C-alpha cells in the first residue's frame, strides 16, 4: 500500500492507494507507472477518474501534488485583425519573457512540465541526444562519469500526435519534465524512463536533449509550479 500526500486547497491530505485504474495512465507497454498511483489517489480523494478532468492536467497535478500555485506559458501569439482587433494564432514560438520564465523556474528548482500538443506533422522525429552511457546526465563531448563513451546524438521520436499510428485512436499528448535549459537546448525527462527511435527502438533512459526550436514546435504548452 502506498500513502500519497496530496494538497486540497493547499492543505496536505494523506491517501492510501493499493490499486490503480485499469484504463488510466500507463506506459507504452500498458504497465502502471508512478503517475498511476497519483492518479488513483487523486480519484479517491477528489472524485475524478484522472488528472485531466477539469483543467490543464499538468497544472492540476502540480497544485495537487506540491501544494503550490501553477501557471503556464504557451506558443499562441496574435496577429492584427479588423478594426484594431487581434486574432490568436499558433506561431510555435515562446517570446523572450516566456523563455526567461521557463529558464529561471528550472534554475530555481520549480517543477516545469512541457506538453506535446504542438506540431507533429513530422511524426515527432527530432535530432537529439540522450543519456546513452547511463550516467544520469547528457554530455556528448566528454566521457561519462562511469567511464563510458560520451553520449550519442541521433534521431529520436517524441511521444505525441499520431503516436501509435492507429486510425481508431485519438491524437495523443505526453508530459515531459524540463530538467535543464541553455541558450540552445532544452533537456527533458520522459517519465516512461526511455526515449523512442523512429524504428520503434528505445534508447538512453528517460533524458533527452532537443533544440529550443524543436521544443517550440512540439511543446505548445509549458506549465510552471
For the chain, the DSSP string reads: -EEEEEEETTEEEEEEE----TTS---TTS---HHHHHHHHHHHHHS-SSTTTTS-HHHHHHHHHH-S--EEEESEEEEE-GGG-EEEEE-----HHHHHHHHHHHHTT--EEEE--S--TTTTEEEEEE-TT-SSS--SSS--TTSPPPPPEEEEE-S-BSTT--TTS--B--EEEEEEE-SSEEEEE-TTSSEE-TTS-EESTTEEEEEHHHHHHH--EEEE-
Q: What pLDDT digit, counting tens, does each position of 99-133 carry? A: 999 999 999 999 999 999 899 999 999 999 999 99
pLDDT at position 199:
85
Residues of the chain under the 70 pLDDT cut: 22-30, 48-59, 77-88
pLDDT at position 55:
45
pLDDT at position 85:
57
pLDDT at position 5:
92
Taking the model in full, what pTM does it have?
0.78
pLDDT at position 56:
47
pLDDT at position 79:
52
pLDDT at position 54:
42
Structural domain boundaries of the chain? 2-54, 112-224
Amino acid at each position: 500500500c502506498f500513502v500519497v500526500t496530496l494538497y486540497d486547497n493547499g492543505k496536505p491530505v494523506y491517501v492510501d492507494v493499493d490499486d490503480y485504474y485499469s484504463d488510466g495512465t500507463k506506459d507504452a507497454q500498458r504497465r502502471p507507472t508512478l503517475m498511476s498511483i497519483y492518479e488513483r489517489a487523486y480519484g479517491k480523494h477528489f472524485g475524478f477518474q484522472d488528472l485531466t478532468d477539469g483543467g490543464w492536467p499538468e497544472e492540476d497535478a502540480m497544485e495537487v501534488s506540491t501544494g503550490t500555485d501553477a501557471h503556464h506559458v504557451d506558443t499562441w501569439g496574435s496577429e492584427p485583425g479588423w478594426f484594431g482587433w487581434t486574432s490568436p494564432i499558433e506561431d510555435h514560438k515562446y517570446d523572450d519573457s516566456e523563455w526567461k520564465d521557463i529558464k529561471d523556474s528550472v534554475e530555481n528548482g520549480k517543477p516545469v512540465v512541457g506538453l506535446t500538443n504542438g506540431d507533429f506533422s513530422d511524426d515527432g522525429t527530432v535530432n537529439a541526444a540522450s543519456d546513452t552511457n547511463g550516467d544520469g546526465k547528457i554530455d556528448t563531448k566528454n566521457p561519462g562519469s562511469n567511464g563510458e563513451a560520451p553520449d550519442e546524438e541521433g534521431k529520436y521520436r517524441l511521444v505525441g500526435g499520431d503516436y501509435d499510428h492507429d486510425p481508431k485512436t485519438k491524437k495523443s499528448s505526453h508530459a515531459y519534465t524540463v530538467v535543464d535549459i541553455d541558450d540552445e537546448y532544452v533537456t527533458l525527462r520522459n517519465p516512461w524512463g526511455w526515449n523512442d527511435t523512429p524504428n520503434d527502438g528505445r534508447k538512453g533512459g528517460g533524458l533527452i536533449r532537443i533544440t529550443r526550436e524543436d521544443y517550440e514546435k512540439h511543446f505548445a504548452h509549458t506549465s510552471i509550479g
